Structure 1
Amino acid sequence: MTRITPRTALLMTLPPLLWAGNAVVGRLAVGSVPPLTLNFLRWALATLLLLPLGWRALRQPRAIAERWRHLLFIGLLGVSTYNAMQYLALVTSTPINVTLIAASMPVWMLAVGALFHGVHPTRRQFAGAALSLAGVLLVIARGDFAALARVHFVAGDVYIVIAIIAWAFYSWQLAQPPASMRAPARPDWNWAEFLLIQTTFGLLGAGAAAAGEVALGAAPVQWNGWVLAALLYVAVGPSIIAYRCWGLGVTRGGPALAAFFGNLTPVFAALMSAAVLGEAPQWFHAVAFALIVAGIVVSSRRR
């Protein structure tokens, strides 16, 4: 795997930080915005914000049409499925369960790489996954591993499993795209243009899901200043900024390494939740952070 440079570390640390905030906001939005509607509004706003930066790509309809299957695939995975399932899970499952299942991301990332891309995990990656997972479990257990035995899984846990698998496929598609999306055949799209195309295709699925939610009788959005601020945050931070950094990080370090950085999300989420609830960070937050960083370092070292 590629050695970690300060730039790569920063690129892969920002998305977990922003996505932790997304999880906290998504949990706070329960009762104010239906989950699938929240996902659609988030990406509709993100698409509008991306238009001034990426509109030139829309002037190449032929290039888009020739690659529509791949673009639709990653749009549905990264915009529609992953985010919708996450917001849905935050409604029907507990935060501890969602975080516990999300901690399995490195396993799914390595599995997808081995089964569909011929990239087999190394012993160091297995060891790194174990260290990183131990850190996440320590946060979930709040320093008491016996608490894990009392976890009860509900229907919402299935949603986050679907979300994680979708994200693993999405990340590998970024790292190993089809020939039409590799140089020299790849269109000359910058990051904003490429992300705009993804969100445009992703809105097809997100919009259909939101429409179905409304048709089934979901409560209307409770519009207020807080909801508007929350939508602005999830459209800019976890969407535009995080996706830009994640795409660069995956390209530079690979999906497997990025998955270990992704396990920083529950640590950041725990700290943010503690801040919102007025609770001071505990000793196990620091230990968990050290374990996760150790997993990143071990998995990325060369022999």
Structure 2
Amino acid sequence: MTQKITPSTALLLTIAPLMWAGNAIVGRSVNGLVPPVTLNFFRWSIAMLILLPLASWIFRRDSGFWQHWKRFSLLGLLGVGLYNTLQYLALQTSSPINVTLVAASMPVWMLLIGTLFFGVKVSHKQTLGAVMSIVGVLIVLSRGELRQLLALRLVAGDIFMIIAAIVWSFYSWLLTLPKDPQEIRSNWAAFLLAQVAFGVAWSGLFVAGEWAVSDLQITWGWPLAAALLFVAIGPAIIALRCWGVGVQRVGPTIAGFFSNLTPLFAAVMSSAFLGEMPHFYHGIAFVLIVGGIVVSSRHSK
């Protein structure tokens, strides 16, 4: 696997966090219109309908899809069903800035999971970078106050996002394993549809549970319709496609650096669209998190 970051790869890995930041903003803005798990189900159902005309052939018996259904089911569970559901749940009690900054701990989880489960060696620079990133995340979780850090009480959204970061790390490492049928892996729409089809099924199960335990309602209208269309096309299809190609080119550890652009984009968008101004501690945390990833990735040529 090459570690060289070309301009085209850098662009792909920048588009993904831009779309994810927009997803956080939209997810926060439609809090009162649709339940979070249901939002995720609608989002990926629309994405699947868009992908079907492009790659419905994968459902043929001889395409390799059914022979590798366990792998695609796992990718769909992690990348579509769990990660996005957890993010929308996090946005119920956390701001987009906080959610994306906590998610910026993802490269740390990439390193840990790569070491523990995929046999990747960690250098001293990567360890130092991980410590810097963890400190940055702790600053976000404590809201920038030492006394809160000493008596740290995580809100539900913070915990959901930490779990989501771990889930996405597993998903990203699994993408690097060349176990997919070449016909599917070489076709971006087919590769996405193979994951999304199972992801929608998993999301449907989660939605059934959400509606079974709660008295919920959906406020239909143009604001919700526009939001669903955006999250289905931008943060789902476009971002997942760009991230998948970027990870396959440079690996999860280097790609993780670009994921830290998400809180920067989210801070700008929150200020512009939600009136949620970033605080001083957000800036300190962002510098530490990005600095940590820069230090971690300097070993790679």
| TM-score, normalisation: structure 2 | 0.86
1:28 is matched with 29
Structure 2: tracts of 5 or more residues without a match = none
Equivalent-residue separation in structure 2 for 1:191 and 1:22 (angstroms): 21
Of residues 183, 187, 206, the one that matches 1:187 is 183
Equivalent-residue separation in structure 2 for 1:250 and 1:292 (angstroms): 20
Identity of aligned residues (%): 53
What is the identity, as a one-letter code, of the residue corresponding to 2:202?
G
Shift of 1:31: 1.2
Please list, as runs of the form range in 1=range in 2, the aligned pairs for 1:248-287 lying within 5 A after superposition.
248-278=245-275
Which deviates more, 109-118 or 257-266?
Answer: 257-266
Equivalent-residue separation in structure 1 for 2:37 and 2:204 (angstroms): 8
Which deviates more, 117-126 or 275-284?
Answer: 275-284
Query: Using a 3 Å threshold, how does the CA distance of structure 1 residues 293 and 88 change in structure 2: closer, same or farther?
Result: closer
2:85 is matched with 84
Shift of 1:281: 7.4
Query: Using a 3 Å threshold, how does the CA distance of structure 1 residues 192 and 101 change in structure 2: closer, same or farther?
Result: same
Shift of 1:134: 6.2
2:231 is matched with 234
Of residues 214, 217, 231, the one that matches 2:214 is 217
Kept in 1: contact 2:15–2:239 (CA 8 A): yes
Shift of 1:186: 3.2
1:65 is matched with 66
Kept in 1: contact 2:57–2:63 (CA 8 A): no
2:200 is matched with 203
Kept in 2: contact 1:136–1:263 (CA 8 A): no
Equivalent-residue separation in structure 2 for 1:204 and 1:62 (angstroms): 20
Shift of 1:266: 1.4
Which deviates more, 126-135 or 110-119?
Answer: 126-135
Query: Using a 3 Å threshold, how does the CA distance of structure 1 residues 216 and 58 change in structure 2: closer, same or farther?
Result: same
Shift of 1:12: 1.1
Equivalent-residue separation in structure 2 for 1:113 and 1:196 (angstroms): 26
Kept in 2: contact 1:50–1:196 (CA 8 A): yes
Equivalent-residue separation in structure 2 for 1:292 and 1:158 (angstroms): 18
1:56 is matched with 57
Kept in 1: contact 2:21–2:100 (CA 8 A): no
1:112 is matched with 113
1:168 is matched with 169
Kept in 1: contact 2:108–2:130 (CA 8 A): yes
What is the identity, as a one-letter code, of the residue corresponding to 1:246?
W
Deviations 1:62-100 (A, max 9, x none): 612211111101111100000011111211445565345
2:153 is matched with 152
Equivalent-residue separation in structure 1 for 2:6 and 2:293 (angstroms): 12
The total of aligned residue pairs comes to 297
Kept in 2: contact 1:100–1:137 (CA 8 A): no
Shift of 1:157: 3.1
Shift of 1:236: 0.4
Kept in 2: contact 1:267–1:288 (CA 8 A): no
1:47 is matched with 48
Which deviates more, 91-100 or 120-129?
Answer: 91-100
Equivalent-residue separation in structure 2 for 1:88 and 1:122 (angstroms): 35
Query: Using a 3 Å threshold, how does the CA distance of structure 1 residues 34 and 283 change in structure 2: closer, same or farther?
Result: closer
Equivalent-residue separation in structure 2 for 1:138 and 1:3 (angstroms): 32
Which deviates more, 121-130 or 45-54?
Answer: 121-130
Shift of 1:136: 6.5
Structure 1: tracts of 5 or more residues without a match = none
| TM-score, normalisation: structure 1 | 0.85
What is the identity, as a one-letter code, of the residue corresponding to 2:183?
P
Which deviates more, 236-245 or 119-128?
Answer: 119-128
